[in-house]
Structure 1
Amino acid sequence: MACDLKDDNILIEKYKEYHAAGNAWPEITASIKDAGVLDMEIYLTGNRLFMIMEVNETFDFQKKAKMDAENKKVQEWETLMQNFQQELPWAPKGIKWLPLDCIFKLEQ
């Protein structure tokens, strides 16, 4: 997945603080795991984020979206993150994180 941050060094540093080890809200990490995500990493270059998720067989993006919509704490987190994130230029309106297409893999 990919998403852009607002191109502001102060905001980028604050976003990194929210995501530093131990700083993400426990309710958020619990909701991620409850959706079937086994592991998640977010990488940053400039103001572009890349997320890699390892999921189990129960994970489904639509199910995760429904779970998030029904979780008050996740909605609070998403509202907070809107201060930092912005849509990719080619993203549909209202969609921040876009899936990536794998175009190369060294080991098949």
Structure 2
Amino acid sequence: MKRYCLALDLVDDPAMMAEYEAHHQAIWPDIAASITGSGILQMEIYRLGNRLFMIMDTQDDFSFELKAQMDAANPTVQEWEGLMWKYQQALPMAQPGEKWVLMKKIFDLQESK
């Protein structure tokens, strides 16, 4: 199993952040199937202010590139992503068109022992 952590910002508007959270309390079944079908075993999203933090636990052979290809070929995922962009804004260090930015792991208690 591999773990990835990613960050993204939301538009800093309380009503829009509440809507975004509501969408994630009842994600579309096809979106959940798309997530698990790509090799993601567990996904959690946390929010502090307008900053989001995602933790993904994946199968060892998970590939961001393959996930992107699968998403591009799935009209429902494209519809969901289009809807989510309404609420999201790229981090200042993100590349053009990049949403979630992979974070660098800098500490692991288990590895420090």
TM range (shorter): over 0.9
Contact 1:35 1:58 in 2 (8 A): no
Distance 2:51 2:82 in 1: 19
Aligned length: 106
1:23-77 deviations in whole A, cap 9, x for unaligned? 0000001000000000000000000000000000231000000000000000000
Q: State yes or no: 1:39 paired with 2:42.
A: yes
* Corresponding position of 1:87: 90
In structure 1, give the amino acid aligned to 2:35. Answer: I
Distance 1:52 1:27 in 2: 20
Distance 1:33 1:46 in 2: 28
Structure 1 gap segments, 5+ residues each: none
Q: What percent identity do the matched residue pairs reach?
A: 50
What RMSD over aligned residues (CA atoms) do the two structures have, in Å?
0.6
Larger proportion of strand? 2
In structure 1, give the amino acid aligned to 2:41. Answer: L
How far off is 1:86 after superposition?
0.7
Q: 2:63 aligns with which of 60, 72, 78?
A: 60
Distance 1:8 1:107 in 2: 38
In structure 1, give the amino acid aligned to 2:13. Answer: D
* Corresponding position of 1:15: 20
How far off is 1:90 after superposition?
1.1
1:69-94 deviations in whole A, cap 9, x for unaligned? 00000000000001100100111110
Distance 1:48 1:76 in 2: 23
Q: TM-score, normalised by structure 2?
A: 0.92
Contact 1:2 1:97 in 2 (8 A): yes
